[in-house]
A and B are shown apart, each in its own frame.
Chain A
Amino acid sequence: MLAQFLQFLFSGVTVGATYALAALGFTLIYNASNVINFAQGEFIMLGGMLAVFFVQSGLPLPAALVLAILVPAIVGILIEKLAIEPVKGAETVTLIIITIGASLVIRGLTAVIFGKGTHSLPAFSGDEPIQILGATLMPQSLWVLGVTAIVVVVLWYFFNRTLTGKAMLATSYNRVAAELVGINTNGVLFMSFAMSAALGALGGILVTPITLTSYDAGIMMGLKGFVAAVLGGLGNGLGAVVGGLLVGILEAMGAGYLSSAYKDAIPFVLILFILFFMPRGLFGARVTDRV
């Protein structure tokens, strides 16, 4: 009983950490621009696929991983420069279509370059499972959780203790006011795309040894990251992390105890309930429209 529960919990927290990174990516871009970036999932896929590719081409693991984060970050910057900046202030639907277009381009190019096969990455520190109270934990899960924890701390420090981070926060609260005090809000937008692409890619790299990856793995990951971001109250960084873990855990529990066929539906059932009964998410602020 307990062993089984722990087993589900371990796999839920592991995947949940990836969702949390994706949700943080959504949050960063949303705060800087009010854009929901539907290409977020493709950064996760891109991170995993590039890591596989660089490792296979003979690069040492650390170099491969750094490149697999850098390239998606550059892709994120390109999307921002070429597709988001030129249409500032467009309707929500227009922005959604643009980011979906970007995601199709990334997915399509990946399929053309790397093929449509499924790929895997060797675990960073072996495949020897760790036994805990009858449940097994893969060492890679510890990598996922550890790195996610570090990222969260680093982000917290960045936003609360550095000038650039504070400038980004200020922009999310009030863009015009931020511009008035001399913050380069275009630079903020630029940063947020680079950072959120890098976060997504990092999540993708970490989780690939466990879940494998392919050119079309990004879309579900991205949508679940979106669920996690909304669950935590869109725009709330801490909420995104909690939301990600929650989505991962509930998905694993639902798949284990209820129905594995409906595993992918669970996050969406969850989000509908949340939106119906707590429309601001778990940590969202109340907003009053000014007229």
Chain B
Amino acid sequence: MALLDVTHLSIHFGGVKAVQDVSFSIDAGIVYSVIGPNGAGKTTLFNLITGVYKPTHGEIRLDGESIGGRSPDELARRGVARTFQNLQICMNMSAIENVMVGAHLRLDRNLIKAALRFPGLRRRDAALRDEALELMRFVGLDKFADARADAMPYGALKRLEIARALAMKPRVIFLDEPAAGLNPKETIEVDHLVRKVADSGITVVLVEHDMKMVMNLSDRILVLDYGKKLAEGTGAEVRRNPDVIAAYLGAHA
């Protein structure tokens, strides 16, 4: 059975049909990419699956359980993590705290215990700090361990989002343009990072404009255009698809 099953998914904003009748499924452990021109509905699709928007029609199943319309925190409990195309870093916190927030659901969140500084809670928090440090090393941010988030460069913040998502110990991670705005060297680093994440056993769903990276990483690719599914298959299949060629040549001509 597939990890994620999306059937006839649609969302309308007023008269705008941002996603229309899209169906696909993602097997556990693969890298699955969603591509398409700007405005094709890729981010909207992510917002639907991660609970930020509620679908107008259609169904989303995670491991057979229907999750369409569930709130983001309920999905987080089920192991769904994501990053954002336009950074959503908490600039009022330090870098490592941003990562620690990712572990929110795994911690004792009791207010009273926290205010009275219960030793157990402090110990767990200290352990988490080490774990977060380890994650920052994993994404290549060790030198920012003590930095404030608002003092970090853009490229580092992109990776900080990935570290925060990984702190959730997710089963599936949605990466929304992790290489957007990065220089070629940074892009290659992110490419390697995504590969490492996938190798650790987490299913990766990727939206990305860098075609080299997409073709390099993806097991399967979904192509969206004007909110509709244009094609789906392996990189080679998608590349041969006449509709895709038309859409992309049309878009770039």
Instruction: Point out residues on A near B: beta carbons under 8 Å.
Output: 288, 291
Contact = CB atoms under 8 A, between A and B. Distances in A.
Nearest to B88: A291
Interface of B is mostly: loop
B144 interface: no
Interface residues of B, number: 8
A291 B51 CA distance: 12
B41 to A, nearest CB: 14
Interface of B: 13, 43, 47, 52-53, 84, 86, 88
A288 B84 CA distance: 17
A210 B84 CA distance: 57
Contacts of B43: 291
Chain A contact residues, majority secondary structure: loop
B13 A291 contact: no
A49 B5 CA distance: 69
A288 B43 CA distance: 14
Nearest to B14: A286
A288 B47 CA distance: 12
A288 to B, nearest CB: 7
B72 to A, nearest CB: 10
Contacts of A291: 43, 47, 52, 84, 86, 88
7 contacts: A288-B13, A288-B53, A291-B43, A291-B47, A291-B52, A291-B84, A291-B88
A291 B72 CA distance: 13
A291 B47 CA distance: 8
Contacts of B52: 291
Nearest to B13: A288
Contacts of B88: 291
A291 B45 CA distance: 12
A257 to B, nearest CB: 42
B86 to A, nearest CB: 7
A65 B47 CA distance: 56
Contacts of A288: 13, 53
Nearest to B176: A291
B47 to A, nearest CB: 7
A72 B47 CA distance: 48
Nearest to B46: A291
A291 B43 CA distance: 8
A86 B53 CA distance: 37
A271 B53 CA distance: 28
Given A288-B13, A291-B84, 6 more contacts: A288-B53, A291-B43, A291-B47, A291-B52, A291-B86, A291-B88
